[in-house]
């Protein structure tokens, strides 16, 4: 019920919400994130979509949604160093902007959002949209998911699957 309670709280007053994903390319999660940010911004919440990497053709969120990219040339390095730098840059951004909540989609952004928010006051909501065996196919990701999600104070309760919020497609098509 935590996500549902959070969404109800959002209706009460304007909040600052940071959405985080690797890129806003042509995928379903990217479209959903774009739609959510647009929907929340239309309900007087300050929304920013933060991405790790640029892509040529992106979904375009609503006019009131801010965009920020963590990308820099320093990210052209190995897997561990790149993820450490992205997490560090995300943490700096969260500390500077002080969002009330960080909402992350996809495996690596979920991990980075949890780590970057450790010790900070913002809430973190992560979305695992696939079967965990498909979302975390290798051992490293499985270990990270188990460890980081167990560290999270509030976890998704499977009994809340019955709550569904429907919304229209608010993104402009990819150009």
The pLDDT, as a whole number, for residue 94 is: 97
Q: What is the C-alpha to C-alpha distance for residues 40 and 151, in angstroms, rounded to an integer?
A: 28
> Which residues lie closer than 8 Å to 84 by C-beta, 6 or more apart?
none
For 82-131, how does the pLDDT look when each residue is reduced to its tens digit (9 = 90+)? 899 999 999 999 999 999 999 999 889 999 999 999 999 998 888 877 77
Closest CA to 173 of 41, 31, 48: 31
pLDDT tens-place values along the chain, 175 residues long: 455 556 556 566 788 999 999 999 988 899 999 999 998 898 889 999 999 988 888 899 999 999 999 987 666 778 888 899 999 999 999 999 999 999 999 889 999 999 999 999 998 888 877 777 777 788 888 888 888 877 765 544 444 333 334 444 455 555 4
Q: Running DSSP on this structure, what letter comes out for residue 46?
A: E
């Amino acid at each position: 019920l935590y996500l549902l309670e959070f969404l109800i709280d959002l209706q009460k007053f304007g909040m600052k919400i940071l959405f985080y994903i690797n890129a806003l390319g042509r995928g379903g999660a990217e479209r959903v994130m774009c739609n959510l940010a647009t929907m929340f911004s239309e309900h007087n919440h300050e929304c920013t979509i933060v991405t790790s990497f640029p892509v040529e053709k992106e979904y375009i969120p609503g006019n009131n949604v801010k965009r920020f990219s963590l990308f820099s040339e320093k990210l052209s390095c190995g897997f561990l160093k790149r993820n450490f730098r992205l997490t560090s840059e995300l943490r700096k951004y969260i500390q500077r902007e002080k969002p009330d909540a960080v909402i992350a989609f996809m495996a690596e952004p979920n991990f980075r959002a949890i780590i970057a928010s450790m010790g900070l006051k913002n809430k973190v909501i992560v979305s695992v949209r696939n079967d965990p065996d498909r979302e975390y196919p290798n051992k490293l990701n499985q270990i990270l998911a188990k460890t980081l999600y167990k560290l999270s104070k509030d976890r998704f309760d499977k009994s809340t699957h019955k709550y569904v919020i429907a919304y229209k497609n608010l993104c402009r098509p990819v150009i």
